[in-house]
Amino acid sequence: MSASPGPSPLSRLRRLAEVLAVSLAGGLVLLAATRYEALGPLLALGWALLMAPAVIDRWRAPVLGFLPGLLLFMWGAHVPLLKFGWIALALLPAVITLHYVVQSLLAWSLHRVSGWPLFVVLPLTMAAGEWTRAILGVGNYNMYQVGTFLFGYPVLIQAADLVGSYGLTFLWSIPAGLLADLAKRALDGPRSGDARRLRWGAGLAAAAVAFLGIYGVARIGAVAEGPGPRVAVVQPALEHSFQLTPQVLAGTVQQTIATVPRGAADLIAWPENSILANLDRWPEYEKNVAAVARTLGTPVLFGTQNFGPDGQRPTNTAMIIDPAGERAGRYDKVVLFPFTERRGFPWLERQFPALGRWLTQITLTAWRNAPNGYAGPGAIPLALQADGRQWTFWTPLCYESCYPELGREARQRGAEFFVNLSSEGWLGWALSNNQMGVNILRAVENRVGMVRVGNTGPSAFVAPDGRVEEYLRGARTGRYRLEEGTLIRPVTVPRGGPPPYTRWGGLIDRAWGAAWVAAMAWFLVQRRLRRLDAPR
């Protein structure tokens, strides 16, 4: 009996075209979901589309079906990198996000060994894949999470105080997985999923959405809270660079003096990189900040640089200068960004010096800098005296807000609110939206108040239940972004202790990856046992 012929070249070409079309469609959905806050919940659908070629038998293309759409999304979302040259746009998004492909490989392998429906496989691997992003890859770049982009709908994110952002990803991705099951049934035939299993999927999807909605309605507005210290957020919307530091500082000082009345705030907050120079080398910059603090009688919190304990490695630092002109607190960034704050491949450079020199040269070409920075020891809060008492707060710098473990650590150390200093506008709207979202999720997960201070926006005050209390609007047109402005109001602080996620989030976050490993091990063992029991 002759073997059946394989698919014809034309058939293979048609299936390749289908895979690429689905992948690119996923990338376009991701672009829309990250661009428009109202479309944020569609992010789950975008990731499901990128993962569909891995789990639909007609295609079986876990990498080819994922990577083109991922790169389309990353390049489209970070077009502003072109200001640094085409090499920055071509290389940076690709290099620091290739580890996202792990998510598709997790889905492909689990589906192959288990045969589970996609309304289980995709949510589990999305949650597990998001957790792995923070520990894999050159940038440990774990942005654009499904749970994060529910931030525009505060009712849907209240459960983050139980399950965290990865848990929200799992729950919200169940309906997307069900849609993938329907597509698989249409393409692979009815045997790929019977109607009974799909009914179970519909019930599970409805239960997940109902849980998020019911819990959200019960919890939103029910968190015990009250007014904390008054914070003056100054958004200068000035381009930050070492060469422009004198102009940036002068503009920020002038704006602060003009818009913050004496005694109107307990803390003045400037963005990350307000002084993009080392204060120990250029002490005259610190004197300018001290003059503002003395003039207004208010401490100034700002982003700058300094040295680590060795006196050589640079830091990304949040510093407080008090009204006496003295340093009253300092926090060094823990998670350093590759290429701009730390070497991208330090271990590779040590093993292969010639390759290291080449990578350093590429970094210099793209960024004109190849630092080897010092990372701070942890999410250590700062202190502020106001209203006759001491307030404790943490100052995540830039994309540190993306890491739930740091937020939990700060809350466990007593932080009552977070002040995120950032200057990521040069990376585009998608990243700014992501940063707004992750700050809101950290507020809900730990039930703390949040103040976001962006150089180009959005800057805002967020309540412990995740509702944006007020956005800073530009002084000229009222825009959120790319316009200077100042906003003064009290930060809302919690009245109770930390929620369950703060206490147990380390276990909860790891549970998604552990569940994937356990499922794989179980099915692989079962497969082995069946082979041993098979008649010979």
Residue 530 has pLDDT above 90, yes or no: no
Close Cβ partners of 393 (under 8 Å, ≥ 6 residues apart): 381, 382, 384, 415, 416, 417, 418, 419
Could you give the 3-state DSSP secondary structure of residue 393? Answer: strand
- Give 405-423 pLDDT, tens digit per residue: 999 999 999 999 999 999 9
If we measure between CA atoms, which residue out of 233, 258, 229, 273 comes closest to residue 480? Answer: 233
Beta bridge pairs of residue 382: 393
Residue 361 has pLDDT above 80, yes or no: no
Report the mean per-residue pLDDT for the chain.
Answer: 91
Report the pLDDT averaged over residues 49-61.
95
User: What is the rounded end-to-end Cα distance, in angstroms, of the chain?
Assistant: 23
- Give 480-491 pLDDT, tens digit per residue: 888 999 999 999
Q: Is 87 exposed, middle or buried (0-12, 13-18, 19+ CB in 10 A)?
A: middle
pLDDT value of residue 387:
86
Residue 304 has pLDDT above 50, yes or no: yes
d(CA 41, CA 175): 11
Task: Catalogue the E-assigned strands of 463-519.
Answer: 468-471, 485-494
pLDDT value of residue 1:
47
d(CA 287, CA 252): 14
pLDDT value of residue 7:
66
d(CA 82, CA 460): 28
- Give 455-496 pLDDT, tens digit per residue: 998 999 999 999 999 999 998 999 988 899 999 999 999 998
Beta strands 382-386 and 468-471 are unpaired
User: Which amino acid does the sequence have at 364?
Assistant: L
pLDDT value of residue 190:
77
Buried b (16+ CB within 10 A) or exposed e, 16-27: eebbbebbbbbb
pLDDT tier at 12 (50, 70, 90 boundaries)?
A: confident
pLDDT value of residue 345:
65
Could you give the 3-state DSSP secondary structure of residue 533? Answer: helix
How many angstroms separate the Cα of 58 from the Cα of each of 11, 13, 53, 163, 306? 11, 13, 8, 35, 56
d(CA 433, CA 76): 14
pLDDT value of residue 534:
67
CA angle 246, 254, 283 (to 5 degrees): 40
The residue behind tokens 């930060």 is 491
The dihedral built from the CA positions of residue 496, 451, 81 and 337, taken in this order, carries a sign that is negative
- Give 135-181 pLDDT, tens digit per residue: 877 677 889 999 999 999 999 999 999 999 999 999 999 999 999 99
- Give 222-275 pLDDT, tens digit per residue: 888 899 999 999 999 998 888 899 999 999 999 999 999 999 999 999 999 999
Report the pLDDT averaged over residues 381-386.
96
Q: Hey, what's the torsion of the CAs at 467, 473, 477, 481, to 10 degrees?
A: -80
Close Cβ partners of 427 (under 8 Å, ≥ 6 residues apart): 78, 80, 81
The residue behind tokens 């943490």 is 394
